[in-house]
Structure 1
């Protein structure tokens, strides 16, 4: 039951966080940070992306009518009371990558970020790959086709969680729980409890 509750909570968190960050019609109070600059005030993030990335509108306070518009790639991360976003390369464009602010949904030694957009410039849309991971040595989108390879680099071959990925009992759609289990250094019993619950839930929905 604890796994079901966590899964539902995580799904709610995904969409609530994304709604607050990208689709809001209002401004969010927070701070934008880069290595040599910071900006405090109210920010409104665009939900459309061009070759220069993502636009954001800034006001020093809500009473002023004066706004400033700039691209989010000028900063490294955004913080507010309940929200953290970080700059990621999310989609190819020309000879480079489009960079936008992506919401973090799980914090810890392995941080999980959630970006549900596909590539708008592709004629044939690839498989949706909404999960991006950051560790001390790794920061990028998790590939659906190279899922095992990516998770081996993130978790290490000796990880108990990775062994279940190798056996295909944990798959791409399980990434939120994979990150959660890895961050808590889950033992074999806890991992098997989750897998048993997952199989039971799948059977009940068929």
Structure 2
């Protein structure tokens, strides 16, 4: 950390606990027994990519999902199933962010969508009485709002240029290897965070 002036954090799996299997189970309970198959298909036909880059909104996304579920399933049930993967914000992680703000410029860079943004802000409000993660960061970048997503280079370059960040003085923390690889290509310092290790383990005081 000697030369680091800036830290860019991923959200899911780094600050927010997530479990994708819970969304799979939630959709199965709605009658979608082949959710994994559909999930792969939606990736292949760019549905999720378009959702995460803001090319389609939540209404279009839900409309697409409705084609694959029993007719009696409501929009709110679909959203609830889609959000099932979002768990909690461990207090220690938020405390670490608060401490780091005194020493570094902090940024959030997340592949997400409008449905999840509203949901995890509600979790944060409910559990920590905070309206958004903005209190911890100089700036937050959500893929669906900027029209770009990781691991494409353009979103990293956008964050670097908009904030005048030197890649060599910038640390990026993410739990997904392709996202780390792109950052490395641009000269950004990286940590590939893998469970059970957390940001608390990385930044807790030595001794």
Same fold at TM > 0.5: no
TM-score, with structure 2 as normaliser: 0.31
Higher helix share: 2
TM-score, with structure 1 as normaliser: 0.31
Higher relative contact order, chain-length normalized (CA < 8 Å, sep 6+): 2
**Structure showing greater Rg:** 1
Higher strand share: 1
